[in-house]
Amino acid sequence: MITVVGEGRGFRVAWLLEEMGLPYRLRRVDLLAGVENDPEFLAINPAGFIPALQDGDVTMVESIAIMEYLMSRYGPTSLAPHARDPAFPAYLQFLHLGEAGLAASIYFVVGALHFGPADQRNNWSAGQALQVFKSRLGLVTRRLERSPYLAGETFTAARGSGAFLNGAPIATSALADLTRALIGTGFGYTPGRREAQVAALTHVLPRVRDVRRAGSAAIDLAWVACGRFDGFYEHKLQAWDSAAGFLLVEEAGGKVTDLKGSVYSPYQPGIIASNGVIHTELLEWIKGNVPPIS
Ligand SMILES: N[C@@H](CCC(=O)N[C@@H](CS)C(=O)NCC(=O)O)C(=O)O
């Protein structure tokens, strides 16, 4: 069982474990009572700060490093973009900037201003650390002026107005050869449904370049819209999974139908979305080969 030792920044570790569905326990540390009174904790982290992580033989500190360890060892998780994802560099940069660039400098400013002896509160080093903090915070401010969040992308569309990625127009791919197509799909949660979906996949997989499973139909459809995927299909979606992505794909010049090739409605379960060019061929492989999926 994974143990998160100490809260504070340990909250971000616990939150990640919750999101990844990994069982863990929390071992509290009372910093105010003095870690010298907690020899068990000092044996785990002799430096006396929190959080620490224990996972079998592994003991480690530094919250961001702990998170990267958990995501690498037990992932992937949709919380972290893949290394080849265009969002990955910004994600990694801002993940580290928080602790390495911002917290590290402001920590001593706060200490000097609030806890230092009265005649040392505005000392030179605290002033320098404050300048470092402010200049690095500028990176965060600049990023947030262009985007509602630090790492990631915004897809938008309106009927008749086109589809956009971070405000720039997007279009579906032009690929015509199904054997070179990258296709997204997703799976249900019940074993029976998954068996039927695997059966369908065995017909699709040999006929395309490859298949991706991102875990979010909304992302899959957005990626068809911007040409990262050439097509996407899934057997059992809810309206809230597909309604926005359906519009994105159509506005980006692609095609969306139900699994029989008829007009798509988000209020029925199956969907095939594509760049339009490969649609008929992809549909034929899926349509003729889908066992009943409840
Ligand atoms: N960069 C470290 C910072 C850890 C840290 O400063 N923890 C605080 C509580 S949130 C602490 O233990 N302070 C007491 C100390 O450093 O001795 C991390 O992210 O894990």
Q: Give tens-digit pLDDT for 39-97.
A: 999 999 999 999 999 999 999 999 999 999 999 999 988 788 889 988 899 999 999 99
For domain 2-74, is the CATH number 3.40.190.10? no
Cα 109–Cα 111–Cα 113 angle in degrees, nearest 5: 65
**What is the rounded CA–CA span in Å between residue 236 and residue 107?**
50
Contact (Cβ atoms closer than 8 angstroms) between residue 164 and residue 156: yes
Residues in the chain: 294
Question: Parallel, antiparallel, or unpaired for β 210-212 and 182-185?
Answer: parallel
pLDDT value of residue 215: 86
Q: What pairs with residue 272 in β-bridges?
A: 233, 257
Q: Choose among 64, 55, 41, 66: nearest CA to 1.
A: 55
**What is the rounded CA–CA span in Å between residue 240 and residue 218?**
9
pLDDT tier, 158 (very low <50, low <70, confident <90, very high otherwise): very high
Residues framing ligand 1 (Cβ under 6 A)? 8-9, 31, 48-51, 62-64, 99
The number of the ligand 1 atom at minimal distance from the alpha carbon of 29 is 12
pLDDT value of residue 289: 63
* CA 176 / ligand 1 centre spacing (Å): 54
pLDDT value of residue 294: 56
pLDDT tier, 259 (very low <50, low <70, confident <90, very high otherwise): very high
Between the alpha carbon of residue 77 and those of residues 17, 53, 171, 191, 215, the distances in Å are 10, 19, 27, 21, 9
Closest C-alpha to ligand 1, atom 15:
49
* CA 123 / ligand 1 centre spacing (Å): 23
For domain 178-287, is the CATH number 1.10.3720.10? no
* CA 124 / ligand 1 centre spacing (Å): 24
Closest C-alpha to ligand 1, atom 11:
49
Q: Which amino acid is present at 108?
A: F
Closest C-alpha to ligand 1, atom 2:
62
Please list, residue by residue across 101-128, b when 16 or more beta carbons sit within 10 angstroms of its beta carbon and e when fewer do.
Answer: bbeebbebbeebeeeeeeeeeeeeebee
Q: Find all residues with CB under 8 Å of 170, minimum gap 6, and list them.
A: 155, 163, 164, 225, 226, 227, 252
pLDDT value of residue 159: 95
The number of the ligand 1 atom at minimal distance from the alpha carbon of 107 is 6
The domain ranges of the chain are 2-74, 88-146, 178-287
Q: CA quadruple 12, 20, 166, 85: dihedral positive or negative?
A: positive
pLDDT value of residue 291: 59
Q: Where are the alpha helices (DSSP H) in 75-157?
A: 88-96, 104-115, 124-146
State pLDDT tens for residues 96-132.
Answer: 999 999 999 999 999 999 999 999 988 999 999 999 9
